[in-house]
Structure 1
Amino acid sequence: MSDCRLYLVTPPRLDAAAFANDLKAALDACDVACVQLRLKDAPDDLVLRAIDILRPIAQEREVAFILNDRPDLAAQSGCDGVHVGQDDTPYREARRIVGADAIVGVTCHDSRHLAMEAGEAGADYVAFGAFFPTTTKEAKTKAETELLAWWAEMMTVPCVAIGGITVDNCRPLVEAGADFLAVCNGVWQHPQGPAEAVRAFNRVIVGA
């Protein structure tokens, strides 16, 4: 049985009140470690409203709730942490804003160098990708499973695999040593619904 866990990423656009039921169904279905709210280009008031609706759903189930890109809003709204990309707030500034106890994760694309820098700086996890074609965002890099295996062998900082991950293609990532699978469409657009998707991912993880 792998120690890998599921890391859910919300759709880039959503109606938080309507999405709340999908989120509850997914989190109640089986093990999920984390939910990242990722609302690209949304105004602050919409992001904060979504946090107010969705954060309690995750935290009441002891699932970490992380905001994408915005350490300032994460800190003021009670999120458990923030995820920053290479073009977003630098890690050290994000850490200063959210504090020592919050989670700060960093996108590292397919770069060992960026990942080592982030890990040495104190990041709580590094994210590698995209491992598969994705329609959620424009992937700047293509990552290989060997990167996960190398990181798992060399480093203690957890790594997240992201990019086009589905129930059908995730097993090699789990077997290579990914600590978390970051999944968006593979859960929310699963033909049998998000709850069944979460259960199916967990069956793969347990069997890997």
Structure 2
Amino acid sequence: MQGLYLVTPNWDDTARMLERTEAALAAGATLVQYRHKDASEALRLEQAAALLALCRHYGRPLIINDHVALCQTLGADGVHVGGTDMTVAQARAALGPDKIVGASCYGDLALARRAARDGATYAAFGGFYPSAVKKYSFVTDPELLVQARRELRLPLVVIGGMTPVNAAPLVERGADMVAAITSVYTVVDVAGAVRQFNALFTQHGKTTESA
């Protein structure tokens, strides 16, 4: 797992979400997480199903934020769980060994260690920078990635106000994927933004690949 990790915005406009997501996938985004905290159950099902079809077309995984049952219903590729969602162990037990289970670990290496023990596919750290989407009550130290890279045999995802410029030092410190919402979905040139993010990995001797 390496490259740009797309997280969808809280948009009710499904067509707009799909248009932007497709542009990003066509430009080389690696993975999509469907996250719409305010969606109704019907809208969530509609959007997730449409995104799954799109991801299948481009050969990229779709994971669902929090909703394990929706993942199971659609046959999506996995879930992402946070501190107030079900645990990694519960998600892994529900989905089995082959699905992606990502874990929010904030700025806490102990959480990442526990997630690894419980079967997480990757550990996500953040927020590193101020975010327009999620307000963090803390700032994660970039040096945490250096220690996490030494200890964990999991891909590391970074999130929180990411841009191609400020993500560079995090990739240098060991991040395998950069998660982005605003800096991809709200810009004029979606494809250009994706290419800028992916260039971070080639600049540091890594190659972007499908998850």
After TM superposition, the score normalised by the length of structure 1 is: 0.93
Which deviations, in whole Å up to 9, do the C-alpha atoms of 1:83-138 show, x marking residues without a partner? 00011111122122222211001101100111100111110011100010001112
Contact 1:72–1:98 (CA<8 Å) still a contact in 2? no
The equivalent of 2:47 in structure 1 is 50
The Cα of 1:12 is off from its aligned counterpart by 2.0
Aligned to 1:59: 56
Stretches (4+) displaced over 6 A: none
2:102 to 105, 116, 122: 105
Letter in 2 for 1:15: D
- Counterpart of 1:23 (choices 1, 13, 21) is 21
Please tell me whether the aligned partners of residues 109 and 140 of structure 1 are also in contact (alpha carbons under 8 angstroms).
no
Residues of 1 paired with 2:83 and 2:137: CA distance?
Answer: 11
Distance 2:2 2:89 in 1: 27
- Percent of matched pairs sharing the same residue: 38
Q: 1:143 aligns with which of 118, 140, 145?
A: 140
- Give the number of equivalent residue pairs: 204
Per-residue deviation, 1:15: 1.4
Matched residue, 1:124: 121
Tell me the distance in 2 between the aligned counterparts of 1:75 and 1:51.
12
Q: Distance in 1 between matches of 2:89 and 2:201?
A: 33
- Matching of residue 33 in structure 1 with residue 30 in structure 2: yes
RMSD of aligned C-alpha atoms? Answer: 1.4
The aligned residue for residue 69 of structure 2 is 72
Q: Is the 8 A contact 1:17 1:53 kept in 2?
A: no
| Alignment correspondent of 1:89 | 86
Q: Distance between the aligned counterparts of 1:69 and 1:138, measured in 2?
A: 18
User: How far is the alpha carbon of 1:142 from its aligned partner?
Assistant: 1.4
Alignment partner, residue 208 of structure 2: none
Q: Deviations over 1:60-91 (max 9, x none)?
A: 21111000011111111121000000111111
Question: How many angstroms apart in 2 are the aligned matches of 1:14 and 1:176?
Answer: 36
1:156 Cα deviation after fit: 0.7
C-alpha displacement of 1:17? 2.1
**Distance in structure 2 (CA, Å) of the matches to 1:207 and 1:189:** 25
Q: Which is worse superposed, 116-125 or 94-103?
A: 94-103
Please give the alpha-carbon distance, in whole angstroms, between the structure 2 residues aligned to 1:194 and 1:87.
Answer: 31
Q: Which residue of 1 aligns with 2:165?
A: 168
Unpaired segments ≥5 residues, structure 2: 205-211
Alpha-carbon deviation of 1:159?
1.1
Select the residue among 174, 192, 195 that pairs with 1:199.
195
Residue 106 of structure 2: SS of its match in structure 1?
A: coil
Asked whether the equivalents of residues 95 and 104 of structure 1 are also in contact (C-alpha less than 8 Å), the reply is yes
What is the Cα deviation at residue 4 of structure 1? 4.1
Q: Which runs of 5+ in 1 are unaligned?
A: none
SS at match of 2:134: coil
TM-score using structure 2 length: 0.92
